[in-house]
Structure 1
Amino acid sequence: MELKTIENIDIVKSSTTKINEVDFDNISFGNTFTDHMLICDYANGEWQKPIIQPYAPFTIDPSAKVFHYGQAIFEGMKAYKDEQDDVWLFRPEENFMRFNKSAVRMAMPEVPEEVFLGGLKKLLELEKDWVKKGNGSSLYIRPFMIATGPGVVAAPAMFYRFMIILSPAKSYYSGAVKVVVAEHFSRAANGGIGAAKAAGNYSGQFYPTKLANEKGYQQIIWTDDATHTKLEEAGTMNVFFRINDTLYTAPTSERILDGITRKSLIDLAKRENIKVEVRSVLVDELVNAAKDGSLKEIFGAGTAAVISPISGFAYKEEYFELPNVEDSIAMDLKDKLTKIQTKLADDTFGWTVKI
């Protein structure tokens, strides 16, 4: 696909740059931002003219509904630079469509394609020097929208702000992580907003994750809200289980995010003749597979980490260490997917889009 272009946009360039102050080889995820950002406001029932301007704080009314009723959504994307210094996106149309699905669910206005994708293209053209080559290097892209309309009446806002900010990134997680299977807390419920990338979905995870951290675990494998018998997501990522030589992952639903990395890994695994089953995986099934040795791998999948291997899990105070497998499907799929993203392998799926 080709990204839509946008002509009706103002660009105010920064008089200085921070790029020479950044150590790109030793950068922590999500704490450093590029010189510019995109802003587009929604007012009087329509989107206004977008602007790219220097990255900076902005003022907002204390009664803005984002603060009081949580109308906030976001996406996570990445840009990559190939050996010819061309910049590429990975399946950006999927992020655009999912963003607007989130907007609809949160009673927020949908963002036009020319603003989301066309504006992003303009922003990346301006910030292309921030996209670095090399293994693990990327530019993380955070589109988001907040309700800026004032008033503490419990109703959707009349004014909104859509923004895109950019952050240079290396690998999100380092090494394998230990997780605990949730017995009480849930990430989302039927009829709720689990399938939307709403900010509140993530803040609601912080407390149970803090409790897990205090016990020596990095993340939680979430279970369904009704019975706590079905395995759903791992931390902020979709999760895969390898039992013998078959990959299992839960189907998307009102509770489970339709992850772009998840669906890409499923397609890639099928291309590589790896058996994949999309179905509910039960906690008892996982425990029994760990006990009889058929559980080979667990890994999370998401934009930031791509794939995050899990070294073991705890359930009901019992810990199960996973084996070190030489034929890791997780690492093989991660290598193949990142090579497609960075143009080191042929993109037979048509997933990558040149800026």
Structure 2
Amino acid sequence: MVHLVQGAVVLSKDAPVTLQTVRVPDPGPGEALVDILTSGVCHTDLHYKQGGISDDFPFLLGHEATGVVSAVGPDVSNVALGDRVVLNWRAVCGTCRACAKGQPQYCFNTANATQKMTLEDGTPLTPALGIGAFIDKTLVAAGQCTKVDADVDPAAVGLLGCGVMAGIGAAINTGGVKRGDSVAVIGCGGVGSAAVAGAALAGATTIIAVDRDPRKLATARKLGATHTVDSASEDAVAAIRGLTGGFGADVVIDAVGRPETYRQAFYARDLAGTVVLVGVPAPEMLLELPLLDVFGRGGSLKSSWYGDCLPSRDIPMLIELYKQGRLDLDTFVSERITINDIDAAFTRMGQGSVLRSVVELQARPQTDLSSP
């Protein structure tokens, strides 16, 4: 059976997001069909729209999602009909060289659905991060579904599907923040604010939030920052050093992903400290650093993909902390919008006026014109 549903598609580079009728097949082996409840508007979706990820247009956007499993294919055992799930883009294969070394969080062979969703005329769609969640129903690999409790706000926990998990994981998993550490986070949008929250969860005692927007700095304070630096009016490196006894922070997280912010992170860390790059650079960006400084300062220079998380372990754990009141996921939900408002949400994202806009799919009538 094929399900004919509405999805938010970008047909070509920098084209507006339009609602299109999408043909979604029933799940085959190892696949799951998921009725989407919510999906966050992530900067990665904007990268897809702008052609910064690939040129495999048309794209079905959306990936920070919660939903309800409406069908599963043969040989699926991790989820069942009616399960509430958070979707993720790291479906661990269990057999690649990373998994074989006991490091499934770096799985090099993550799975997506084998079958293609298409436009009504049969044109194959490329789903964002193998998910495509700005749609009434989507088809994913069953391993992309993490079962969660149904008694939590889907708009909040769905953000663990990408941005919030990326930030928290950049601090805890990649940066290895420990009790008593000093941490600086450069860029306090959705991912950077989550890195602040992650540093607080890990027990860092000095957490320095750096941004040019006072609104974002105020939010970072709410999420656990002990100090803020307005980089529009003061030198970020000097300020971070001044707040850490002149030494620099143990861990510095670049949540912007530009050469100038990475250099700030590099020089704002203590000797033998750690730099974590979690902001996504544009393809044309180049970094130049004196190699002697790289050698002489020691420590670690790391990149963080999805917070180096293991979804089956980390998503349930963070949701439990949310339910206990120890992780404020609600603050990340700046607004709840409809699927028709995605382009406007991209504009507000660029203006820095939101951490996350969240599309609520269950708020609109859904028409499933299924056909054999």
Fold conserved between structures, TM > 0.5: no
**Structure with a larger share of its residues in strand:** 1
The alignment's TM-score, normalised by the length of structure 1, stands at 0.31
The alignment's TM-score, normalised by the length of structure 2, stands at 0.30
**Structure with a larger share of its residues in helix:** 2
